[in-house]
Structure 1
Amino acid sequence: MSTTVTFAGNLAEAPELHHTRENNKPFVTCRVLVNRRVQNDQGEWVSDEPTAHNVKIFGSAATHVHDSCGSGDPIFVHGLERTESWPDKETGEKRTKDVVVVDNRFGEVGISLKYVSARIDRAPHAAQAS
């Protein structure tokens, strides 16, 4: 079972481009830090501890994010939260990690325009490119 999540934050580092083993399709992995402002006991606004989200982006959005975004850039993510599991290489113990997945079937990712401006450079559709 997966949960739909939506959040805006900043890229912790530049998105990393990978390719699937089965069919060599591109996907991107990145971490997004969500900062929250809270009032302390004196009534002052301070930054709370950021929440880190592991994100995997598939499909056409993967190459767009890789080519367009860098460390610190503000983005928003709408995707499905899933838990990945694998055996530890050294101990064989089960390891898990929560990941937000964005793909062409479900989800969106984009630049957050709350504090920055951007220009849109439309990519050609696959049918137009061939």
Structure 2
Amino acid sequence: MSANFNGTGNLGNTPTLRHVRVEDEERPVCEFRVFFDRSKPDGEGGYEDIGGFWLTVNIWGKRAEAAARHLAKGARVKVEGRLRQDSWEDKETGEPRVEIRLDADDVTLALSRIEQIRFMPKAETSERDDAAAA
């Protein structure tokens, strides 16, 4: 069973795009870290930071390539996806390690931090079908 998650936060690093073999094909995956902040009204019209947490985010396929092109450290994003727990043994200490990761279905830029947008030409029908399958 997976836990659905959606949250808003800031990228803590420049996204990394790599290609991994999945069965018989190479698939693009983009990885980055997001700090999901928590705040509450401060009573004076502003907000007070009350903590937050970091997650490593992975997004696959055509969305991975788009994320690598458009996202940058510090970008404010909304991320939707499923939480997953990874476990491994530390190579140096032999200690067990655990990390919660987010497999993203979608990443959206916060409009308040965008200076300019340029739209791509409308996709042909076959391109839309390919994107939907990814």
Give the TM-score range, shorter chain. 0.7 to 0.9
Equivalent position of 2:132 in the other structure: none
More helix per residue: 1 or 2?
Answer: 2
Count of paired positions:
122
Corresponding residue for 2:5?
5
In the alignment, does 2:107 pair up with 1:109?
Answer: yes
Give CA-to-partner distance per residue, 1:4-35, whole Å, 9 cap, x none: 00011111111111221444321111111122
The answer to whether the aligner puts 1:29 opposite 2:27 as a matched pair is no
Tell me the amino acid that sits aligned with residue 15 of structure 1. P
TM-score (structure 2 length as normaliser): 0.75
From the two aligned structures, give the one with the greater strand fraction: 2
Unaligned runs of 5+ in 2: 128-134
Change (3 A) 1:120 1:37: same
Instruction: Calculate percent identity across the aligned residue pairs.
Output: 28
Aligned pairs for 1:1-130 within 5 A: 1-22=1-22, 23-39=25-41, 43=43, 45-102=47-104, 107-116=105-114, 118-122=116-120, 124=123, 127-128=126-127
Contact 2:75–2:113 (CA under 8 A) maintained in structure 1: no
Q: Unaligned regions of 5+ residues in structure 1, if any? A: none
TM superposition shift of 1:94: 2.9
CA distance in 2, matches of 1:94, 1:122: 46
Provide the C-alpha distance between the structure 1 equivalents of 2:10 and 2:16, rounded to a whole number of angstroms: 15
